[in-house]
Amino acid sequence: MTPIAIGTGLAILAFIGLVIGLVVLLVVVVLLTAVLTPIRGITRYANDVPEVAPFMTDGVRGVDGLRRTGQLANSLPPLAEAYLAKLAPATPATEAPPPRVDDGSPDGLISGGKA
């Protein structure tokens, strides 16, 4: 078979093969770009590590006091409860709150500036 003797059917199949090959090549290029973009970012970050390493060894200022701050924050609620218990007289739990006046105002107070 000579190059001139290729039939129409073979030419159509060859053209379809070339189109499929081009589509596969484009998909490979898109996937390669999707993989290489994060790799380039990681490489840039890795190249910055020698410049930043001295700052990492020193640490962040004030980290030593975090444990003490946590202890103080956890001890505060019981102290606040004890202070409020001493400050306000104990009210019975069954006592109902004073009735509210419903005159349409959002806070339940009598409108016109009177309480």
Annotated domain spans of the chain:
8-50
Residue tagged 């105002």 (tokens): 105
Instruction: Give the chain's length.
Output: 115
For residue 48, how many C-alpha atoms fall within 13 Å in the half-sphere facing its CB? Answer: 9
Task: Specify the pLDDT at position 115.
Answer: 45
pLDDT tens, 67-104?
Answer: 888 888 888 888 888 888 888 765 555 666 666 656 66
End-to-end CA gap in the chain: 108
Q: Please say if the pLDDT value at position 1 is more than 60.
A: no
Task: Specify the pLDDT at position 46.
Answer: 87
**Distant-in-sequence, close-in-space partners of 14: CB < 8 Å, separation ≥ 6:** 6
For CA atoms 88, 94, 98, 102, give the dihedral sign: positive
| pTM exceeds 0.85 | no
pLDDT tens, 18-68?
Answer: 999 999 999 999 999 999 999 999 999 888 888 877 776 666 677 778 888
Task: Specify the pLDDT at position 86.
Answer: 85
Our CA angle for 64, 57, 55, nearest 5°, is: 100
**Distant-in-sequence, close-in-space partners of 103: CB < 8 Å, separation ≥ 6:** 110, 111
For residues 1-6, give the mean pLDDT: 62
